[in-house]
Amino acid sequence: MANALIESALLRRHAPYTIGGYALLREITDQDGALPARLKALLMAVAAVARNRDALAARELARGVTLGLELKEAVAGLIVLSSLRGEGAALAFQALLEQAYPEAREEAPPPPELTVAPGEALANFTSYFGTVPAPLALMLKLLPKGADAYYLMRKGSIDSNPLSPKYGELLLIVILAADYSPMTATHVPAARKAGASDEEIAEAIICAIPAGGIAAWMGAAPFLAAE
């Protein structure tokens, strides 16, 4: 599938170095490497939605489908966007899924009722972060139901991710890198703990560049360099 930026007549005419550099970048993002190409297409689509680049997201998702990306795999992006970037981004990505996969529009049974045992959210936060971050400690104190809600959404994004906890973390990383978020610092070591190699994390960060530019790498790479 042709890349719109590389095909730009204006850039081809006036900026051959830019075209050459972007073509090399796309060799990393568009081909199998440390991560499969179909899943890198998903990472780029999710990062694009997080940055309100819906046309880019649609192209990457369509490219992922041609590479064999299954709906169950793509739904992992919807799950992560639901918790990390909220309803607007999640529903925008859902609309793209419904365009790309006809079966995405099928009716589904109601979800089961879930309960959170007393102390379950606290134990999860402590296990994941090592210590409970101050904002979550405040939520546990003032809005315990909100803390339970966040715990369930985290469990869906990472522990019960349809791909794997590793890919749940990589999806979080690509969104945070595209947004230049310091929260990337939390999820790089978490991705390592979930089994991701540094090469896999690096490719996930590179997948933020089509949506967020080279600043995505510059902002996130220092967290990858930290041990």
Distance CA 199, CA 74 (A): 22
Distance CA 225, CA 227 (A): 6
Asked if the structure places residue 119 within a domain, the reply is no
Distance CA 172, CA 153 (A): 13
Number of independent structural domains in the chain: 1
- Looking at residue 2, its pLDDT comes to 78
Cα separations in angstroms, 169 against 18, 71, 193, 227: 31, 19, 10, 17
Write the CATH number for 83: 1.20.1290.10
Question: Vertex 29, ends 23 and 30: CA angle to 5°?
Answer: 80
Amino acid identity, residue 20?
G
Question: Vertex 3, ends 187 and 15: CA angle to 5°?
Answer: 100
Query: Has this prediction a pTM greater than 0.85?
Result: yes
- pLDDT tens string for the chain (227 positions)? 778 899 999 999 999 999 999 999 999 999 999 999 999 999 999 999 999 999 999 999 999 999 999 999 999 999 999 999 999 999 999 999 999 999 998 888 888 888 999 999 999 999 999 999 999 999 999 999 999 999 999 999 998 899 999 999 999 999 999 999 999 999 999 999 999 999 999 999 999 999 999 999 999 999 999 86
Asked if the structure places residue 165 within a domain, the reply is yes
- Looking at residue 10, its pLDDT comes to 94
Asked if the structure places residue 168 within a domain, the reply is yes
Amino acid identity, residue 106?
E
Asked if the structure places residue 82 within a domain, the reply is yes
Position of tokens 């850039």?
A: 11
- Note down the domain range covering 149: 31-103+137-225
Asked if the structure places residue 120 within a domain, the reply is no
